[in-house]
Homo-oligomer: A and B are copies of this chain.
Amino acid sequence: MKISIVRNILEANESAAKENREHLDRARVLAVNITSAPGSGKTSLLEATVPGLGAERRCAVIVGDLQTTRDAERIGVLGVEIVQINTEGGCHLTASQVSAALDRLDLDGLSFIFIENIGNMVCPAAFDLGEHARVAMLSVPEGDDKVAKYPTLFQPADAILLNKADLVGVLDYDMNRVRDDLNRINTRAPFIEMSVKTGRGIEEWLAWLRGLQT
């Protein structure tokens, strides 16, 4: 019984995700779903990404949050269209929530929609939002065991970012362990060491994003 309920929820989500992707394809807009634990730096990444892509690639942002509008306020100053999804305690975004958000955006002339998911390494992994690319972000202070412990997040990711890489050496962090764990579950996605704070790795990330458009 429990399994069939879960399957129904996932099937309904899958169907909404497919519609989102078709809608975005018709509008020629690329959607990128960004997932991580709380505090890894998703909002900071977007603060660097939107200006970094330049005026010729217009962006919009969909931000998921449990309660507050803090992330939306931070991104709002970037001068892009933004839709906040308040999940009221919900632990991940769903494709139907994203569908409602898309209806509130002007897709005309947009290059990218970035979807900042709820900070959670578990639940967002199971829900396709209709994105074209999924990004899973790690952060050095979380420790070097997170790929092994949360493989469902990292296995399907199209790019894996390691943020706060400036803290390697300040904090104990075994990069080889992370690379070994990734080699077991995902050799397809690029692994980009970055620090949004210092700017390291941002160019590699922007180049990867630009490459999605070709």
Contacts and interface: CB of A to CB of B under 8 A. Distances in A.
Interface of A: 5, 37-39, 65-68, 70, 89-91, 118-123, 126, 139-143, 145-146, 148-152, 164, 167, 170
Contact of A141 (B39, B66, B151): B39
9 contacts: A37-B142, A39-B139, A66-B152, A67-B150, A70-B149, A89-B122, A91-B91, A120-B122, A170-B170
Nearest to A125: B89
A5 B152 CA distance: 25
A157 B90 CA distance: 19
B122 A121 contact: no
B119 A119 contact: no
- Residue among A39, A118, A146 with most chain B CB within 10 A: A39
Nearest to A152: B89
A25 to B, nearest CB: 29
B119 A37 contact: yes
A164 B164 CA distance: 15
Given A91-B123, A120-B121, A148 B37 contact: no
A42 to B, nearest CB: 11
A31 to B, nearest CB: 23
